[in-house]
């Protein structure tokens, strides 16, 4: 049964942590089954890496991407197994858009696991480790951040730009490390409350990622997408796309274009969404969504008790 006022959102990189989903896997066998399916595709034990690996390894993007995709899909399968309703809309933040497309039936899980591993590798090799950086700028208007990035880019001669419009007052910048540092300094001088470096290993969603986008396009050339069974709001233009032939281009553009998360959430509320379930580790998107629209009710289902309580609460409302 679909509930018209519910959306599911799927997190992107930065939400990964060693030991995540241990309790959920103990309660829902389908989570272990999903990780086993991914492990077969990848050729290594993904669950063992998540439970017993090093955080530094989890943070490498070619590892992070299959880890988070698998975590989100596993939780969505557990949600359905527990009797949870099918949402009316889905969206994912950056990498999370692939999780949304899998859960919406537009892309096979096994295909997506391999694809995001390749995507991570393409993105990592586009800029060597240590040469790129990302940082969240808190408490400064978008225009001021764009101006600081432009000034830092002009001064350094290197790329830096606003790349994730996460919520009013929170924008992520990315680019070459020195240019990002210069932009941080300018943002603070302009009145930013904080600037937080992010635990990622490449400057995502900048022009530096265009070569990765070209390689992703080649990797997707032989992949067949299906029409989403649940509409997905895409990062690039904060709109839905029902034509499966148009989806690959949106995923390619997403690699080197800003994530319009504020627009995505506004598009969902305009479509009648009042309750949003974050399907994946952490609560990053729930916090952002509240800043975008305080009327939204947010739910997290990473822990088994929270999952079951959310199934019950949303069914009875």
* pLDDT, tens digit, 9 for 90 and up, residues 201-216: 689 999 999 999 999 9
Q: Is the pLDDT of residue 54 over 80?
A: yes
> What would the pLDDT profile of 13-27 be if each residue is shown by its tens digit?
888 999 999 999 999
Q: Phi and psi of 206, rounded to 5°?
A: -110, 170
Q: Phi and psi of 96, rounded to 5°?
A: -60, -20
Q: DSSP string of 225-246? A: P---SS-EE-TTTSSB---GGG
> Which of 5, 68, 71, 89 shows the shortest CA–CA distance to 32?
71
Q: Report d(CA 303, CA 311) in Å as an integer.
A: 12
Q: Which residues of 95-106 are buried (b: 16+ CB within 10 A; e: fewer)?
A: bbbbbbbbbbeb
Q: What is the pTM of this model?
A: 0.94
What are the start-end ranges of the H helices in the chain? 22-27, 29-42, 46-52, 55-58, 61-81, 96-103, 109-126, 142-156, 177-189, 210-220, 247-256, 261-270, 284-292, 304-316
**Tokens read off for 240:** 């839905």
Alpha-carbon separation of residue 100 from 23, 93, 149, 309 (angstroms): 23, 9, 31, 22
For residue 152, the model assigns a pLDDT of 98
Task: State in Å, rounded, how far the first CA of the chain is from the last one.
Answer: 14
**Tokens read off for 162:** 């606003």
Query: For residues 165 and 262, is the Cβ–Cβ distance under 8 A?
Result: yes
3-state secondary structure of 204: coil
For residue 160, the model assigns a pLDDT of 97
**Tokens read off for 155:** 């001064």
Confidence of residue 9 (pLDDT cuts 50, 70, 90): very high
Mean pLDDT, rounded, of the chain: 95
**Tokens read off for 97:** 């858009």
How much of the chain exceeds pLDDT 90, in percent? 91
Confidence of residue 317 (pLDDT cuts 50, 70, 90): low
Q: Is the pLDDT of residue 301 over 90?
A: yes
The arrangement of strands across the sheet holding 160-167 comes to 160-167, 170-176, 132-138, 194-197
Q: Choosing from 15, 71, 94, 286, which is the catalytic residue?
A: 94
Mark whether 94 is an active-site residue. yes
Q: Report d(CA 202, CA 125) in Å as an integer.
A: 9
Q: Choosing from 99, 205, 257, 286, which is the catalytic residue?
A: 205
For residue 146, the model assigns a pLDDT of 97
3-state secondary structure of 91: strand
Average of per-residue pLDDT across 59-63: 85
Q: Is the pLDDT of residue 129 over 90?
A: no
Q: Is the pLDDT of residue 90 over 80?
A: yes
Orientation angle between helical segments 284-292 and 261-270, nearest 10 degrees: 70
Beta bridge partners of 89: 7
How much of the chain exceeds pLDDT 70, in percent? 99
> What would the pLDDT profile of 257-291 be if each residue is shown by its tens digit?
999 999 999 999 999 999 999 999 999 999 999 99
For residue 2, the model assigns a pLDDT of 66
Mark whether 205 is an active-site residue. yes
Confidence of residue 1 (pLDDT cuts 50, 70, 90): low
Check residue 259 and report its DSSP letter: B
- Structural domains of the chain, with CATH: 2-126+208-316 (3.40.366.10), 134-200 (3.30.70.250)
Average of per-residue pLDDT across 109-121: 96
For residue 278, the model assigns a pLDDT of 98
Confidence of residue 200 (pLDDT cuts 50, 70, 90): confident
For residue 130, the model assigns a pLDDT of 84
């Amino acid at each position: 049964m679909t509930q018209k006022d519910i959306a599911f959102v799927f997190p992107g990189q930065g939400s990964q942590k060693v030991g995540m989903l241990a309790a959920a896997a103990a309660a829902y066998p389908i989570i272990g089954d999903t990780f086993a399916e991914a492990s077969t595709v990848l050729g290594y034990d993904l669950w063992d890496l998540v439970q017993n690996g090093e955080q530094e390894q989890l943070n490498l993007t070619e590892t992070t991407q299959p880890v988070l995709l698998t975590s989100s899909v596993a939780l969505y399968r557990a949600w359905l197994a527990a009797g949870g309703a099918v949402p009316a809309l889905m969206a994912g933040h950056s990498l999370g858009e692939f999780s949304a497309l899998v859960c919406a039936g537009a892309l096979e899980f096994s295909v997506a696991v391999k694809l995001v591993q390749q995507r991570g590798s393409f993105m990592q090799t586009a800029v060597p480790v240590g040469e790129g950086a990302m940082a969240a700028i808190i408490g400064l208007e978008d225009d001021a951040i764009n101006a600081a990035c432009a000034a830092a880019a002009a001064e350094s001669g290197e790329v830096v730009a606003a790349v994730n419009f996460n919520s009013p007052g929170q924008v992520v910048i990315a680019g070459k490390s020195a240019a990002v540092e210069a932009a941080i300094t300018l943002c603070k001088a302009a009145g930013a409350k904080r600037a937080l470096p992010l635990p990622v290993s490449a400057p995502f969603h900048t022009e530096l990622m265009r070569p990765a986008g070209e390689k992703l396009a080649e990797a997707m050339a032989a992949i067949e997408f299906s029409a989403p069974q649940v509409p997905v709001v895409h990062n690039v233009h904060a709109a839905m796309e029902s034509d499966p032939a148009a989806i690959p281009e949106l995923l390619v553009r997403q690699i080197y274009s800003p994530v319009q998360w504020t627009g995505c959430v506004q598009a969902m509320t305009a479509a009648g969404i009042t309750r949003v379930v974050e399907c994946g580790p952490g609560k990053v998107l729930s916090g952002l969504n509240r800043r975008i629209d305080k009327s939204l009710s947010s739910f997290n289902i990473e822990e088994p008790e929270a999952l079951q309580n959310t199934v019950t609460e949303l069914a009875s409302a």
